[in-house]
Structure 1
Amino acid sequence: MSWQAIARNDLRKAIHERGAWALFAGFFLGFGGLAALLVQLGDPEFEGYLDLLAPGVGLLVPLAGIILGYEAIIGERESGTAVLSLSMPHSRASLIVGKLVGRTTLLAAVIAVAALLASVILLYFFPSFSASRFVGFTAMSTVYGTTFLWIAAALSMALSTSRRVIAAAFGAYIGLTLFWTALVNLTETVLFRFRSTSGEPETWVTLVSFIGPNTSFNYVLGEVLDAGAIPAAVVDSSADFVTPAVALLALAGWAVLPVIGGFLSFRKDDL
């Protein structure tokens, strides 16, 4: 059995679960419901739609990623399915790759279909609708959600019980989406509490704030797609590293590095 077969099987099972349909309903209500609300309020503008949608997506999409990712491996281990799968001729790496591909595909499909249905409303009622910007917004939302899905899957590989995985995954969600910049600023305050400053943040503070997933995501939306607001942590920064390319690289790092760490732990575990 190959990773492709694992991915297909995982995707097939997920499609028939209520949770997947609940996620789709949530995204459709988010994308389409906001569009319908603006139509009801009168004189809908596409720019205003994206500005209102961006902060909601910044919280909803990573939560969906966490929900889809946290059971990826721990669920297989606790049910005994992992042992059964690994008794067949494929490796633990194949199991992980298959799970990641299957669940990432599901997340991408849910977001894409919800956005496609919402685009019918946008195309008909929003005179300034830009298909290219909306496709870019949808693609960036998928990348952002995938980052958290892989973080949760990595925790699912590394930790031994569902309770620990759930606590760690939702802790990561809260810390990375809501409190990252605050934690960085608090660290700076503690480290340099006796140093007189000119009010300008240290370069490393700007860098660490910038590479936080939520900050990187919102920066790309604001800088490239003119959607939402550029985060205050970098809005006035002239540092060379404050670019969309670095922001995308940061999101990739948040996704890939935890998976590598989780796999290194998982491959040594006795199932």
Structure 2
Amino acid sequence: MSWQAIARNDLRGASRERGSWALFVGFLLGFGGLAALLVQLGDPEFEVYLDILAPGVGLLVPLAGIVLGYETVVGERESGTVVLSLSMPHSRASMVLGKLVGRTTLLVSVVAGAAFVTGVGMAVAFPAFELPRYVGFMLLSSLYGTVFLWLSTALSMALSTGRRVIVAAFGAYIGLTLFWNLLIDIVETVLFRFRPGPSGEPEAWATFATFVGPRTSFNYLLGSDLDAGAIPPVAVDASAEFVSSAVAILALTAWAILPVVAGYREFRNDDL
């Protein structure tokens, strides 16, 4: 069985689950509810819609990725179906690739479906609706959610029980979305023993580490390329060359791929 067949089977099965439909309804209520609220308040502005939506997407889309990804491998391992699957003529690599493609397709479909329904209504109700910016916003949101989906899938490969995966996945979500910048600040403070750098400026490595955090990179791309939401302070104040859209995209890509590589190495060597 090829990875394409695994992806199709996984997508077909996941799309029938209530949780997937609940995510779709949740995104539809979020995207559409905000648009409806602005219409009810009178004179709806597309700029205001994106500025309000950006912080919510920064927290909710990665959570959806975690929910869709954490059980991909460990769920089959605990049920015993992973042994049956691997007894068929395909490798562990094919299984993992198929799972990633299937769940990523599901996440993108959920976001795109809710965005399409909302966009149709906004095209009528919002006088200054901009389709290219709206599509770009949703594409970036899907990329951002994919980062956390792949991260949780990596944990699903590396850890042996569902409970451990849940704790690690939601811990990673909280740490990367809410406390990453604080962690960098604490590390910098400890290393320099409470002595700030010259003129109170943060060290270059600390600025870089803060900038490549997934939420900061995502917010930077929204703010700099789509003029949606606020550009993170670390990017506004810094003059370093690495503060760019290219580095932000590379950072998000690395957050997705590197954990999968590490998780697969553990999964490949495990005795199932």
Per-residue deviation, 1:50? 0.1
1:247 alignment counterpart = 248
Q: Which runs of 5+ in 2 are unaligned?
A: none
Q: For residues 13-162 of structure 1, what are the structure 2 equivalents within 5 Å?
A: 13-162=13-162
Q: Deviations over 1:111-165 (max 9, x none)?
A: 0010000001210111111000000000000000000000000000000100000
Q: Deviations over 1:179-234 (max 9, x none)?
A: 00011011111111253531111100110000000000000000000000011122
| Matched-pair contact (CA < 8 Å) for 1:207–1:241 | yes
Aligned counterparts of 1:142 and 1:251: Cα–Cα separation in 2 = 12
Aligned counterparts of 1:22 and 1:12: Cα–Cα separation in 2 = 16
CA-based RMSD of the aligned residues comes to 0.7
TM-score (norm 2): 0.98
With over 3 angstroms needed to count, the CA separation of the structure-2 counterparts of 1:194 and 1:215, relative to structure 1, is closer
With over 3 angstroms needed to count, the CA separation of the structure-2 counterparts of 1:149 and 1:4, relative to structure 1, is same
TM-score (norm 1): 0.99
Letter in 1 for 2:40: Q
Aligned counterparts of 2:15 and 2:232: Cα–Cα separation in 1 = 36
| Matched-pair contact (CA < 8 Å) for 1:176–1:214 | yes
Q: Deviations over 1:8-36 (max 9, x none)?
A: 00000111110000000011011111000
Aligned counterparts of 2:217 and 2:152: Cα–Cα separation in 1 = 19
Equivalent residues, number: 271
| Matched-pair contact (CA < 8 Å) for 2:196–2:202 | no
Q: Does 1:187 align with 2:203?
A: no
Aligned counterparts of 1:4 and 1:258: Cα–Cα separation in 2 = 22
Secondary structure of the structure 2 residue equivalent to 1:193 = coil
Secondary structure of the structure 2 residue equivalent to 1:235 = helix
Letter in 2 for 1:240: E
Q: Does 1:217 align with 2:248?
A: no
| Matched-pair contact (CA < 8 Å) for 1:181–1:233 | no
Secondary structure of the structure 2 residue equivalent to 1:127 = coil
With over 3 angstroms needed to count, the CA separation of the structure-2 counterparts of 1:87 and 1:188, relative to structure 1, is same
Aligned counterparts of 1:239 and 1:118: Cα–Cα separation in 2 = 38
Per-residue deviation, 1:41? 0.7
Q: Which runs of 5+ in 1 are unaligned?
A: none
Secondary structure of the structure 1 residue equivalent to 2:229 = coil
Aligned counterparts of 2:127 and 2:208: Cα–Cα separation in 1 = 39
Q: Does 1:207 align with 2:208?
A: yes
Aligned counterparts of 2:185 and 2:216: Cα–Cα separation in 1 = 14
Aligned counterparts of 1:233 and 1:100: Cα–Cα separation in 2 = 32
With over 3 angstroms needed to count, the CA separation of the structure-2 counterparts of 1:83 and 1:229, relative to structure 1, is same
Aligned counterparts of 2:194 and 2:155: Cα–Cα separation in 1 = 38
Letter in 2 for 1:246: V
